[in-house]
Amino acid sequence: MNPFLKISPEVAQALQQNKPVVALESTIISHGMPYPKNVETALAVEQVVRDNGAIPATIAIINGKCCVGLSAEEIETFGKEKNVWKVSLRDMPYVISQNLYGATTVAATMRIASMAEIKIFVTGGIGGVHRGAENSLDISADLTEMGQTNVAVVSAGVKSILDIGLTLEYLETKGIPVVTIGQDAFPSFYSRQSGFETPLRLDTAKGIANMLQTKWALNLQGSVMIANPIAEKDEVPQAEIEQHILQALTAAGIAGVKGKEVTPFLLQYIAQHTNGESLEANIALIKQNAKLGAEIAMSMVA
């Protein structure tokens, strides 16, 4: 085993016994939601995974180790502490060798999940191609990582803080299948619609598990993006969220926000300016993603 990997006893045992395991990220805890909702949500999401028959493995960097499976106390620390690094691939060697606390993004979580041989990873939204990327070149390492690492990602589609069309093009270039469950429209996180059709559609967890196994048996490297539309009752109307996104982008421009700070800034701005409505939608959709992820993980080992 890689000397930088530390797998909790529960997760290690589950993997050894070929039980379904679902990876979860930690940037969403430290940089994606305010305390204490972030901690409540992380623990609730783990419970949803359990209730649906799988073992949760929240991933983060602690004390120079890539930890797979956190305790409730560790999750509390990641939700509360102010000096937690947001760790994407390029930050991993620094944060690990400096023994810092690192919350892992989709890219870094995928890499660590893959080291532990976990195949299914659940999150809310992935990073992608930002609006204005033709000038800023701001394209998340989540996408390049999805092009090369064999861990499937369940999300609620692509958030419209990003350029959804360009993100779909980039995913196509990288050979990453994008499959939406249960509808023809590609979802945009807060909304079931995005204005784009989904490239692929499947209607069951079993069908998705089958497609994942087929992809990897063909030796096609990389992820599959599984888009799970938010439930109708939890949706925020697209026109409403778009207004807030435009204001957030303007505010980011005025404040001169750049690089890894862009995504957390936009998320925080939108949460603060929608009276928590977007936060409640975010919490609802990630729980729903956890259920689907557990179902797919169950089908993979069946």
Rounded to a whole number of angstroms, the minimum distance from the CB of residue 140 to Mn ion is 5
Q: Which residues between 28 and 87 bind ligand PSU (CB under 6 A)?
A: 28, 32
Token couple for 138: 């701001």
Active site residue 25: yes
- In the complex with ligand PSU, which residue's Cβ is closer, 12 or 89? 89
Q: Residues 6 or more apart from 212 whose CB is under 8 A from it?
A: 119, 152, 224, 296, 300
CB of residue 223 to ligand PSU, shortest distance in Å: 12
Q: Which is nearer to ligand PSU, 27 or 114 (CB)?
A: 27
Count residues near ligand PSU (CB under 6 A): 18
Residues 240-299, interacting with Mn ion (CB under 5 A): none
CB neighbours of residue 169 within 10 Å: 12
> From the DSSP assignment, how many helices (H) and strands (E) are in the chain?
13, 11
Nearer to ligand PSU, 52 or 88 (CB): 88
- The residue range among 17-25, 74-82, 130-138, 269-277 that interacts with Mn ion, by the rule CB under 5 A, is 130-138
Position 142 contacts Mn ion (CB under 5 A) = no
Instruction: Using CB under 6 A, pick the residue from 129, 212, 267, 279 that binds ligand PSU.
Output: 267
- C-beta atoms surrounding 254 within 10 Å: 8
Q: Helices (DSSP H) in 137-178: which residue ranges? A: 141-146, 164-173
Amino acid at 131: R
180 Cβ contact partners less than 8 Å away, ≥ 6 residues apart: 157, 186, 187, 198, 200, 201, 202, 227, 228, 229
Query: Is 233 considered catalytic here?
Result: no
Output the six-digit token pair for 160.
């419209």
The 3-state DSSP composition of the chain as helix, strand, coil percent (nearest 5) reads 50, 15, 35
Quick one: how far is CA 252 from the chain centroid?
22
Residue 88 or 289: which CB sits closer to ligand PSU?
A: 88
Of the candidate residues 46, 91, 138, 142, the single one contacting Mn ion (CB under 5 A): 138
Tokens of 221: 């490297």
| By CB under 6 A, residue 140 contacts ligand PSU | yes
Which one is catalytic: 6, 86, 119, 159?
Answer: 159
List active site positions. Answer: 25, 159
Residue ranges that bind Mn ion, judged by CB under 5 A: 138
Question: Would you tell me which residues interact with ligand PSU (CB under 6 A)?
Answer: 25, 27-28, 32, 88, 105-106, 124-127, 140-142, 159, 260, 263, 267
